[in-house]
């Protein structure tokens, strides 16, 4: 373990602040008191490391996260194109995704399937679970290096495509887009490079083609940036998938990913991607009051299974527009 004042950082830390760096762990910035947060220094650490966990801030409510976001200069985005129901709080704060405690939430960059994505993600731990529940992170640059060259070349050439079907059950299109006005949904889709089709039953199908790699707008370095594995149909429970396919066919699943030219993505490719994420993974068990700050364009995140009560809130902000892949 190395505990430093991070003298090589673009901005030196104030006296009493310590940065802990250890292989396999998320960098931890230990705060001497909860009543001050040097925003520029924290943002400089995130620029350098991709992620930093602030310990000692003492977050206790969603409002505390919105205060921390303001001190970091991050304004929250309204969520659109969501995949799970979240509880919304003021100032762009949300509960984290509703995911079964016993299930692993696979690595992903928040909204990497969208045309406008948050460049910063904040996670605040209000209640730490008894066991597990770590928010894991992985550097997309490292993931790219770990993937087979042929796999990277294919995705770089073709990009990836996501098809979604919204039904009257589960997360509806009005939930995902924050409106029950079809005209507003169509306007959103047109301005965010989504093809959309209304079904006879009142549902919605969307299709979007996106690049699978991202050149970071600040560093200029390339990284893996997509949800081709996370939203692959193999992620669905096999029994649920079989049932839905019997009703709607393979094209009617709630979500499905392919290469950008429409070719199917094999489970071997999904396994290779998830293996690279696992090798690149950092983690640090939550303590109540912690704040995790991520460069969402560079760092993917996931969540381990857990036991007990876990309450983590999130804020996604500093949006940037990602150029869509060339239409096929």
Structural domains of the chain, with CATH? 2-140+283-321 (3.60.130.10), 143-274 (3.60.130.10)
CA distance 164 to 83: 10
**DSSP helix/strand/coil, 205:** strand
- Sequential pLDDT tens for the chain (328 residues): 455 544 444 456 777 888 999 999 999 999 887 776 778 889 999 999 999 999 999 999 999 999 999 999 999 998 899 888 888 999 999 998 888 899 888 999 999 999 999 999 999 999 999 999 999 999 999 999 999 999 999 999 999 999 999 987 778 999 999 999 999 999 999 999 999 999 888 899 999 999 999 999 999 999 999 999 999 999 888 888 888 888 888 788 899 999 999 999 999 999 999 999 999 999 999 999 999 999 999 999 999 999 999 999 999 999 999 876 544 4
Q: Among 8, 36, 33, 11, which residue's Cα sits nearest to residue 21?
A: 8
Contact in structure between 293 and 137 (CB atoms under 8 Å): no
Angle at alpha carbon of residue 253, lines to 247 and 256, rounded to 5°: 155
pTM above 0.85, yes or no: yes
Strand partners, 94: 88, 314
């Amino acid at each position: 373990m190395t505990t430093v004042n991070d003298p090589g950082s673009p901005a030196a830390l104030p006296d009493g602040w310590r940065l802990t760096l250890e292989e396999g762990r998320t960098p931890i910035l230990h705060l001497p008191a909860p009543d001050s947060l040097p925003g520029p220094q924290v943002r400089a650490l995130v620029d350098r490391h991709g992620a930093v966990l602030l310990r000692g801030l003492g977050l206790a409510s969603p409002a505390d996260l919105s205060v921390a976001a303001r001190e970091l200069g991050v304004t929250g985005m309204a969520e659109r194109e969501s995949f799970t129901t979240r509880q919304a709080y003021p100032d762009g704060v949300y509960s984290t995704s509703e995911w079964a405690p016993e299930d692993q939430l696979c690595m992903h960059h928040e909204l990497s399937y969208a045309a406008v994505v948050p460049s910063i993600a904040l996670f605040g731990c209000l209640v730490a679970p008894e066991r597990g529940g770590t928010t894991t992170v992985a550097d997309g640059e490292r993931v790219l290096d770990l993937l087979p060259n042929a796999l990277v070349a294919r995705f770089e050439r073709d990009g990836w495509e996501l098809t979604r079907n919204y039904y009257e059950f589960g997360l509806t299109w009005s939930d995902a887009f924050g409106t029950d006005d079809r005209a507003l949904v169509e306007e959103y889709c047109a301005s965010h490079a989504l093809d959309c089709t209304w079904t006879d039953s009142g549902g919605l199908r969307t299709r979007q083609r996106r690049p699978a790699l991202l050149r970071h707008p600040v560093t200029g370095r390339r990284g893996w940036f997509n949800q081709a594995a996370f939203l692959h149909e193999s992620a669905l429970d096999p029994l649920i998938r079989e049932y839905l396919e019997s009703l709607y066919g393979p094209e009617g699943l709630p979500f499905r990913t392919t290469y950008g030219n429409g070719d199917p993505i094999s489970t071997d490719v999904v396994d290779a991607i998830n293996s690279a994420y696992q090798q690149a993974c950092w983690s640090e068990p939550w303590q109540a009051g912690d704040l995790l700050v991520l460069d969402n364009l560079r760092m993917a995140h996931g969540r381990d299974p857990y036991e007990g009560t876990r309450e983590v809130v999130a804020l996604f902000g500093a949006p940037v527009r990602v150029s869509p892949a060339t239409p096929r």
